[in-house]
Amino acid sequence: MKCPFCNYHDSKVIDSRTRDGGRTIRRRRECLKCKRRFTTREQLDEIPLWVIKQDKRREEFDPRKLIHSIQIACIKRPVSMAIIEQIASKIEFDLRDRGIEEIESKAIGEAVMTALRDLDDVAYVRFASVYRNFQAKEEFISELDQLK
């Protein structure tokens, strides 16, 4: 690794730590020439994950969209942003760990509903009402009955 201070071509690793479930490595390095220290980060090159929408369009997976949709369901609920981000990260990691390049949006929606069902009933019903496109109060009642 080239030193950012003197541009010498070699350095030694002093300390390494993993982050993001082992997907990122932070390394503290020391230049062998000027002895100054600097930090580098190594990250796995992810293969793009494509989402197949209901109308068969494909778009690249965007974790921000996933977080935003969970946030909307959790408005005025006792769910922290950290928990919302954990849910989104877990869903993304699970999808990427399957080793697939395309996933239907339906599968992502089901994963969100599973996570919200265990977390907060109100957020779950809110998300389900939009995701399943409820048109009548009977659909809400049916969903609520399933929660009992």
Helix 121-131 to helix 137-147 angle, to the nearest 10 degrees?
Answer: 140
Residue 129 maps to a domain: yes
pTM of the model: 0.65
Residues in the chain predicted with pLDDT less than 50, given as ranges, are none
If asked whether residues 39 and 66 sit together in one domain, one would say: no
The confidence score (pLDDT) of residue 60 equals 94
Residue 76 maps to a domain: yes
Residue 100 maps to a domain: yes
**Overall number of domains in the chain:** 2
Residue 1 maps to a domain: no
Residue 2 maps to a domain: no
If asked whether residues 92 and 126 sit together in one domain, one would say: yes
Residue 132 maps to a domain: yes
If asked whether residues 97 and 34 sit together in one domain, one would say: no
> Mind listing the pLDDT tens digit for each residue in 7-27?
999 999 999 998 776 778 999
Task: Give the Cα-Cα-Cα angle 93, 95, 99 (nearest 5 degrees).
Answer: 105
Residue 117 maps to a domain: yes
Residues 42, 18: contact at Cβ < 8 Å?
no
Residue 74 is part of which domain span? 50-147
CA distance 67 to 81: 9
The confidence score (pLDDT) of residue 112 equals 94
If asked whether residues 37 and 55 sit together in one domain, one would say: no
> Mind listing the pLDDT tens digit for each residue in 82-94?
999 999 999 998 9
Residue 4 maps to a domain: no
If asked whether residues 71 and 88 sit together in one domain, one would say: yes
If asked whether residues 131 and 110 sit together in one domain, one would say: yes
If asked whether residues 15 and 57 sit together in one domain, one would say: no
If asked whether residues 86 and 120 sit together in one domain, one would say: yes
If asked whether residues 31 and 78 sit together in one domain, one would say: no
